[in-house]
Amino acid sequence: MAAVIAGSGAAAAKLLQRPVHSLARCSRQQYLRLRAQQAPATVRSFTSGRRGSVVHRGKSITALEKKYTEDHEWIDISSPESASIGISTYAAKALGDVVYVELPTVDTEVNKGDAIGAVESVKSASDIMTPVGGTIIEVNSVLEEKPGTINKSPEGDGWLAKIKVTDTTELEGLMDAEAYRAFTEEVEDK
């Protein structure tokens, strides 16, 4: 992994002395524990120049933290305080041009599988189900004025809501990026 650690010289030297742990082989709880033990630092990739875009064994950390449902929602669990929810690129393509987005209300408590909003396109409408239970802490209000953002960046700027997850064990039944890709290929073959 070719990365530069920016920060004070002493802090950077201390980080470099720590053993490298494989994120690809650890559970979510182990990952959070390892991340909490590390001192804050800015990590930059030589290849992309973007903050936090570190590649580990061919997978970005973001890809390791994003999970998918069979209903084509995703949840990005890259922050221990909150997780972002949205629809997958596959779902956005299937929907076509999104013309309206119904967002949840902030501070609403939801259970896994609850409808937290809806997406309407020129082809159809679809409820958005939350992959985990928790409290809605933020919504992407940009989507109210620019619902097409979902089509342009469904797994980036097109996120729908952020949730404070109450039970991390609910994440266990979700698919990682590879499993989701295989799932969508199987769906297309039917």
pLDDT tens profile 87-141: 999 999 999 999 999 999 999 999 999 999 999 999 899 999 999 999 999 999 9
Q: What are the tokens at 109?
A: 């408590």
Would you state the pLDDT for residue 151? 96
Sorted by sequence, the CB contacts under 8 Å of residue 179 that are 6+ apart come out as 68
- Asked whether the beta carbons of 63 and 56 are under 8 A apart, the reply is no
Would you state the pLDDT for residue 59? 39
CA distance 17 to 113: 44
Residues 13 and 104 in one domain: no
Going by pLDDT thresholds of 50, 70 and 90, the confidence category of residue 71 is very high
Give the predicted TM-score (pTM) of the model: 0.65
Going by pLDDT thresholds of 50, 70 and 90, the confidence category of residue 143 is very high
Residues 52 and 120 in one domain: no
Parallel, antiparallel or unpaired: strands 98-102 and 125-129: unpaired
CA distance 124 to 94: 9
Sorted by sequence, the CB contacts under 8 Å of residue 79 that are 6+ apart come out as none
Residues 47 and 71 in one domain: no
CA distance 140 to 35: 27
Residues 30 and 96 in one domain: no
Q: Please determine, for residue 35, whether its predicted confidence score (pLDDT) is greater than 90.
A: no
CA 140 to centroid of chain Cα atoms: 14
Residue with more model confidence, 133 or 35: 133
Q: How many domains does the chain have?
A: 2
Q: Please determine, for residue 152, whether its predicted confidence score (pLDDT) is greater than 80.
A: yes
